[in-house]
Structure 1
Amino acid sequence: MSDKTTLLAKTTHLQTLLTHFKTSLTTTTTPPPSLPATTSPNPLPLLRDASHLLKAQTTKLGLLLLNEPFTPSAVIKVLSACEAQPLPAIMGALELCHSDIWGGMMAREVRLRVDVLLGAFGEILVDVVRKAEGGIVGVVEGERGRGKTLASTGLVWGACDGLIELWEMGVVGLTVQKVEGFRGMIVDAIGELKEWGEDEEDLDEGFGGSEGDGGEEDRDDFEDMFSAANKLPSHRRDLRDLLDETLRVLRLVDMLYKAVAKRRIKTFPVKTPPLEDEAARVQVKTLDGVVALLKSIPESVDDLANAFYELDAEDATSILTKITTDAKAAATAVEKSWTNTADEFTTWRSKFEEALSKKAGKEGEKPKETMILPFRSN
């Protein structure tokens, strides 16, 4: 059997293995109960080390594909090393990253990034097949192949860096990053809704004075039809009042995200070895619960904005109530510190709920005038 034939067989085998790995990503696994900590090492350093190794092997592989003469035996050696070490190590680390130990956020992110890595490595295997089967190619085809190999190598590097980043961030860093992203969506929505509600010049100065009956009513209908998605119709006082209340509530919710990130997520007690005692798992469950609420609120805010754009005051009111309820639930879930003691956030949470429940006055209320974030102490 020639080296090229052996290389194609090895590549096909690895492609099948990657397919199996990707299929396993959709399978939910349940961690064994109450195993000693020594049986479950931290998966993040394992992901880091395996990713560094795969990145190095991919660099070798890319150089072998780019440089002449093409040496199938050398490529086989690199592929065998990838199959023997980094790929199974990455999948093993994935199996260790159970949600009840490392948190749902980290478990999902590891799974997602491993999926990206497997797809990227699959691309460079396609390049191996192309090179092995290509024989002598023209200059143009050769340059295209080089570009494809460079791109595939870059994809693997990026995917490896993504897994290494998880080790650098850890559970706390990743969760803070996600929560800040959720908060960013709320801040964007505040800006968009504020702009939508700003007063504008008359759409057509002469429209309301046209001949015929019902001129003012016709004008209102015109605004409803053509301005809803861009501006709040001037005659919808009910929506104006509701929008003012919505902006007040969303500014308070924005403060909640800052407070939870600072006083609860950044102080989350990540332990080494992994969180396998029952008390620690309860803390992980609490963290997952509050993050789920913080994730759902921007989704509700998006629905709320759509309700405003559709001029549906009833639906907007209902969604705003849900946002308020979820915000209170998130604050209550982490009312006390991770050592189950009252602190500055505990006091702030009571004031937050009081402010959230209080209706705005005629001019509205700015949260910063009545609320001080619990950031003074570390």
Structure 2
Amino acid sequence: MSKQLTTILATTLALIEQFQDTLSTSTHTEQPSPKDAKALPLLSASSATLKAQVTKLSLLSITSPFTHSAVSGVLRACNDTVLPSLVTAALLVTPAEYTKAFHSEVLLLVRTTLNEFNTLVQQVKSISEKKDLEKKDDPKKESELARPDKDAVTLATGRVWDACDTVLEVASKGVVGFVMHRVEQWRDLVRDAVQEIEDWDPEEDDDFFDDLMGEDKDDGEEDDDDSDDEEETAALKEQKKNTLRFLKPIVQVYPSIATNRLKNAGDAPLSSAAGVTRLEALMLNLQSIPEQVDEAAGALYEANVAKSAKFLKKTQKNAAQAVESMAAPWDAADAAGCDKQVTDKFSIWSSAWFKVMDEVSKPIDAASTA
């Protein structure tokens, strides 16, 4: 019986390696449509089944007596159905039908799950080898598994559970839920940057720099320097105020889009290639803003007002493109040529948003060309 288990363990480890290579190199072309493939339900079901099988495998491995046939049965089920189903589901989540970001996320999570399962199988293999040596020395002997071995299996099992739970969560929320989560993360990053700018005091930075670089100066030089410092500090304070006014409507883009275009959208964004394209454009633009805000803040702290303003203009461009990409409701007949005059809560909000941005961007426009 130990020979059979050895063969199955080797098969499991080889399959995991093969599936990892498949997920890494697959071009994901000419796949079935999500309506026919039911990729996400399959992803959920296979993840839940793997978690259940892992639970059995863990208990069988750490509980005496170590039964080769029972362990083999669990591994055989994983090899024959569970792992192939999990990998198949991941391959069916194609970029063209689920967005590039969601496709990448699913591949990453499934590969992580396979890695964690591989670690557990290696632990089971080690236990099996120890038990075989023990039986070889004394066929009637069946000792309790050592605590370090039990702990190693328990830890590995917990990591597989966590990986499966993460896959289940992503699959259950779907593409739109995934996008909403990302939008919330990017919104929080922008809010943190804005809070940092609000807390920044140009006068304190100026005093710190003077203390750090201070040299003995005569009274005339001190008067001139004080005058220059006061002018620069005043200019930075003004730019700080303009920056915060400018960023306030930028921050509002995130919750407005999440509430009016993503929440309760269901699978509508995935009903056409144009809908997927809109989601791609939305994520690309909203993801770019936090880094640009950080760059704008960093330039402001360095008293480089023009550089800061140029980064702010980039955030405005991305925010405007994000708003424009969500102009039409998802149920528009043809998103590629849909009626942009559709009036709903978001279209009314977006019209007001563009007017506000035109106003608050005037000082930023002037600073960026100075």
TM-score bracket, normalised by the shorter chain, equals: 0.7 to 0.9
Equivalent residue number for residue 217 of structure 2: 212
What is the deviation of 1:311?
3.6
The question of 1:343 aligning with 2:347 is answered no
Equivalent residue number for residue 19 of structure 2: 21
Aligned equivalents of 2:180 and 2:100: distance in 1? Answer: 14
Equivalent residue number for residue 66 of structure 2: 70
Aligned equivalents of 1:130 and 1:62: distance in 2? Answer: 13
What is the deviation of 1:358?
1.5
Equivalent residue number for residue 373 of structure 1: none
What is the deviation of 1:172?
2.0
Which shows bigger deviation, 340-349 or 154-163?
Answer: 340-349
The question of 1:241 aligning with 2:241 is answered no
Residue in structure 2 matching 1:320, options 293, 312, 317: 312
Distance 1:50 1:61, change over 3 A: same
* Contact 1:199-1:234 at 8 Å conserved across structures: no
Which shows bigger deviation, 79-88 or 312-321?
Answer: 312-321
Residue in structure 2 matching 1:196, options 200, 204, 210: 200
Equivalent residue number for residue 298 of structure 1: 290
Distance 1:318 1:47, change over 3 A: same
Under a length normalisation based on structure 1, what TM-score does the superposition of the two structures give?
Answer: 0.80
Equivalent residue number for residue 323 of structure 2: 331
Give deviations 1:183-228, integer Å, cap 9, x for gaps: 011111111121123754955999999753344677899x9xxxxx
* Contact 2:44-2:171 at 8 Å conserved across structures: yes
Give deviations 1:263-304, integer Å, cap 9, x for gaps: 111253515xx956xxx1111111111111111111222222
Distance 1:234 1:185, change over 3 A: farther
Counting helix residues as a fraction of each chain, which structure ranks higher? Answer: 2
Equivalent residue number for residue 355 of structure 2: 354
Under a length normalisation based on structure 2, what TM-score does the superposition of the two structures give?
Answer: 0.82
Amino acid at match of 2:20: K
Aligned equivalents of 1:346 and 1:246: distance in 2? Answer: 26
Amino acid at match of 2:49: L
Aligned equivalents of 2:255 and 2:93: distance in 1? Answer: 28
What is the deviation of 1:249?
2.1
What is the deviation of 1:29?
2.4
Give deviations 1:58-84, integer Å, cap 9, x for gaps: 001000111112122221111111011
Residue in structure 2 matching 1:257, options 254, 258, 264: 254
The question of 1:308 aligning with 2:300 is answered yes
* Contact 2:34-2:92 at 8 Å conserved across structures: no
The question of 1:89 aligning with 2:85 is answered yes
Aligned equivalents of 1:235 and 1:125: distance in 2? Answer: 65
* Contact 2:23-2:91 at 8 Å conserved across structures: no
Equivalent residue number for residue 186 of structure 2: 182
Residue in structure 2 matching 1:149, options 147, 153, 157: 153
Q: What SS does structure 1 have at the residue aligned with 2:24?
A: coil
Q: Which runs of 5+ in 2 are unaligned?
A: 135-142, 333-337, 364-370
Q: Once the two structures are aligned, what percentage of the paired residues are identical? A: 29
Distance 1:220 1:164, change over 3 A: farther
Which shows bigger deviation, 14-23 or 87-96?
Answer: 14-23
Which shows bigger deviation, 211-220 or 108-117?
Answer: 211-220
Which shows bigger deviation, 194-203 or 10-19?
Answer: 194-203
Aligned equivalents of 1:311 and 1:332: distance in 2? Answer: 33
Which shows bigger deviation, 171-180 or 304-313?
Answer: 304-313
* Contact 1:197-1:243 at 8 Å conserved across structures: no
Q: Which runs of 5+ in 1 are unaligned?
A: 224-232, 363-378
Aligned equivalents of 1:198 and 1:284: distance in 2? Answer: 44
* Contact 1:43-1:93 at 8 Å conserved across structures: yes
